[in-house]
A and B are shown apart, each in its own frame.
Chain A
């Protein structure tokens, strides 16, 4: 029992500590792929350190929402990290506290507060980015619902730990059409939810074209650091759900030994870096879509997920 609580907290620690590293590796690999040298992979840590030591300026016209939003946004992925398999294959202490839908709701709560805070300051770019994020969000919502419905239907459970075991035993399950189609649909969702290239440009500095990033323009100092960190953690949590639950549940710890769980950290990180390479390749080979083309992108994701559901429902 004590071990399970300990590992669960270790899992949260891993997500909090390595999220900036994953972000740093992503931006570094992206620059490398485009034949540039790129920033150091520890640059996000340096940025966070600098921001945490700076003064914070808050508009006097803003309400408590603006001040609370960074903390809510920061805690949401932390709570989700309690629920999903990050390091171990067996359920940990808090695993049955909430299922995948619960995790989705918690992440959505963080996003909701970030959106409210963007509207709160009445900075011209904030509400624009907020409304665009909501647009992408409500287009992504049906895909999320269908994907999770199908996944839970296949596994007979909505608890991620039970779902992940379904795909690898026997190995023939891995090649099921519904599985592969769900992977494609979920990959498109990650691109949309995290503001990656076909939907939004994560490194763009032009406010008029921003979708996700313009929401945190008003923050400075500690608030900015927390928002940045929260974004990195949300990305890591989404990747963990994608890799550990849906695609490759390999490399996770099987036993209860501390050494085995600690060994899982580099294995999982290696897996994540492999996925980041794929992501960076997608980002570098596509152009950003125009705003109203996002409907088509997510419409395609929706159709793929629906087809996955149909192939699943009619084969059994």
Chain B
């Protein structure tokens, strides 16, 4: 089962995981919308790289398919959709409306990573898979950070990116726990997620046209007079 370069692949996967987590933190903390979109692309690339490494180590063709689908949808299709449906002004704004300032969101992000590790530790006792030691806690952490992004951001597009980062986190944990992940599940997600991106993109475009802003935080106070 173990290929000869197992330990090197193991640490390469750990490295991929560390960078994956960094991009997740970046999606929470960056100011510009465009930068967080680029970080999301980088995160998806790292996800597919991890799937590829696991595929080589475990000899599972399913994981190669997962890697291919991830690259096709999340690094090409979704960014293309978001760039073309949402108007250019959204990407030009530098100061994103957010609930917390950046240092405090960074501190909360660090705290969430600690929680993810604390939760993952008892779970790791249940599964006997070598890569789960890396991927499960990091995937959980990225998931929490995605949720936190949705909460902390008040703009439509960064919130969507938080949602997509959450999905990336789930898959990052998933490829390690279930190496024989049916391709159909990944295919379903691959069709689903771009549709979500498309809908949110079009909705944002309409909102931006009508109101001139995509700040979700200001929509809370909207009422007819």
Contact = CB atoms under 8 A, between A and B. Distances in A.
B15 A175 contact: yes
B103 A295 contact: yes
A306 interface: yes
Interface in A276-316: 295-296, 299-300, 302-304, 306-308, 310-311, 314-315
Contacts of A308: 18
Given A299-B102, A303-B109, A172 B15 contact: no
Interface stretch (B84-92, B113-121, B154-162, B176-184): B113-121
A230 to B, nearest CB: 32
Classify the secondary structure of B's interface with A: helix
A300 B107 CA distance: 9
B133 A306 contact: no
A131 to B, nearest CB: 19
B11 A175 contact: yes
Nearest to B121: A314
A311 B194 CA distance: 32
A175 B114 CA distance: 21
A176 B11 contact: yes
B11 A299 contact: no
Contacts of A303: 25, 106-107, 109-110
B211 interface: no
Interface string A10-36: 000000000000000000000000000
Interface string B1-25: 0000001101110110111011001
Interface stretch (A58-66, A177-185, A253-261, A266-274): A177-185
B137 interface: yes
A1 interface: no
Interface in A178-236: 178, 180-181, 184
Contact of B8 (A175, A180, A184, A302): A175
Interface range, B side: 20 to 34
A307 B25 contact: yes
B113 A177 contact: no
A173 interface: yes
B15 A180 contact: yes
A311 B138 CA distance: 9
Interface string B127-144: 000000110011000000
A2 interface: no
B17 A172 contact: no
A171 B106 CA distance: 32
Nearest to B19: A180
Contacts of A184: 22
Interface in A137-154: none
A136 to B, nearest CB: 14
B106 to A, nearest CB: 5
B29 interface: yes
Interface of A: 170-178, 180-181, 184, 295-296, 299-300, 302-304, 306-308, 310-311, 314-315
Interface of B: 7-8, 10-12, 14-15, 17-19, 21-22, 25, 29, 102-103, 106-107, 109-110, 113-114, 117, 120-121, 133-134, 137-138
5 contacts: A173-B11, A175-B14, A180-B15, A307-B25, A314-B137
